[in-house]
Amino acid sequence: MQNRVVWIVLALVGLSPRISVAEDYNALILEQIKQMPQGGHYSVSRFAKIRLQSSAHFESGKFFILPTGPSFCSGATYLVFIRTIEALRAHGELHLDYPTLEKLIIRDQRDGEGIWGRWNANGPGTARLFHELQLGRNFDNFDQAKPGDFMKIFWSRQVGRNEHGHSTIFLGIENRPDGQYVRFWSSNIPAGYGEKSVPRSKIAYAIFSRLQTPSNLARIDSAPLVDTYLASLLRARSSIAEAGTECGL
């Protein structure tokens, strides 16, 4: 209650309250989305991957996020994730040592390898990372979702080999005359960075990941170099049930 009163008083005098660890991180994630560019074209080419690496430049212990197109979905959401980490560090609310920060760098990691390799993997990459390092809660109930949750969309029940999925950030549910639509932000086909809405009926399944304990990124030091489950999904088929189990659902 006290925190809420402080926010109200600051709003009345025209000041912006600083995001606090006592608050949830979703609002901060949404702020990072606002600072991302629009468009730039969607691509999963080698050139797009090189562009992504240069978009998250790491120097003197700090990430400088300068997104350029073309882009793809997991790269887009990962840039927002890193921006959120940097915003918390700038506020003095998150302290990570240099070796942990280095492990956030986007290199040419294979699926399941390190932080980026987990995030970028087939299947529930982000949710698996969140579960493994205890970064926050994973769930699959749309009724519990809040704007700012990371959301992996599965367009079919296929997981792993032959899957059709999309890494996004949930923005809300829209009620339209023809039914419910799910609104999200990502790099979308064909335009690139931006918001999109799709009929909820087109989504076969979704896993939400809510950032709650970013300091647990330091646990990557004691995690296996490669997550064998995620690494296997380039060639192996999994299932919705197995994905849920691997993500703590």
The yes-or-no verdict on residue 34 having pLDDT over 70 is: yes
Residue 190 preceded by cis peptide, ω within 30 = yes
Backbone angles phi, psi at 28, to 5 degrees: -70, -40
Strand partners, 199: 181
Residue 247 pLDDT grade (very low, low, confident, very high; cuts 50, 70, 90): very high
HSE-up (13 A, CA, CB side) for residue 223: 23
The yes-or-no verdict on residue 22 having pLDDT over 60 is: no
Backbone angles phi, psi at 159, to 5 degrees: -130, 135
The pLDDT, as a whole number, for residue 17 is: 43
The yes-or-no verdict on residue 215 having pLDDT over 60 is: yes
The pLDDT, as a whole number, for residue 83 is: 97
Residues 107-157 pLDDT 10s: 989 999 999 999 999 999 999 999 999 999 999 999 999 999 999 999 999
The yes-or-no verdict on residue 12 having pLDDT over 90 is: no
Considering the chain, what is the average pLDDT of its residues?
91
CA distance 157 to 134: 26
Give the Cα-Cα-Cα angle 139, 53, 50 (nearest 5 degrees): 115
Q: Which residue has the higher pLDDT, 22 or 65?
A: 65
The yes-or-no verdict on residue 11 having pLDDT over 80 is: no
Of all residues in the chain, what percent carry a pLDDT higher than 70?
91
Q: Max CA-CA distance within the chain?
A: 57
Count Cβ atoms below 10 Å from residue 21 Cβ, excluding itself.
Answer: 14
The yes-or-no verdict on residue 15 having pLDDT over 60 is: no
Residue 23 pLDDT grade (very low, low, confident, very high; cuts 50, 70, 90): low
The pLDDT, as a whole number, for residue 9 is: 33
Strand partners, 192: 40, 188
Across the range 235-245, mean pLDDT stands at 95
Across the range 96-117, mean pLDDT stands at 95
The pLDDT, as a whole number, for residue 21 is: 45
Structure tokens at 95: 């302290």
Residues 61-79 pLDDT 10s: 999 999 988 999 999 999 9
Residues 36-64 pLDDT 10s: 999 999 999 999 999 999 999 899 899 99
The pLDDT, as a whole number, for residue 24 is: 82
The pLDDT, as a whole number, for residue 182 is: 98
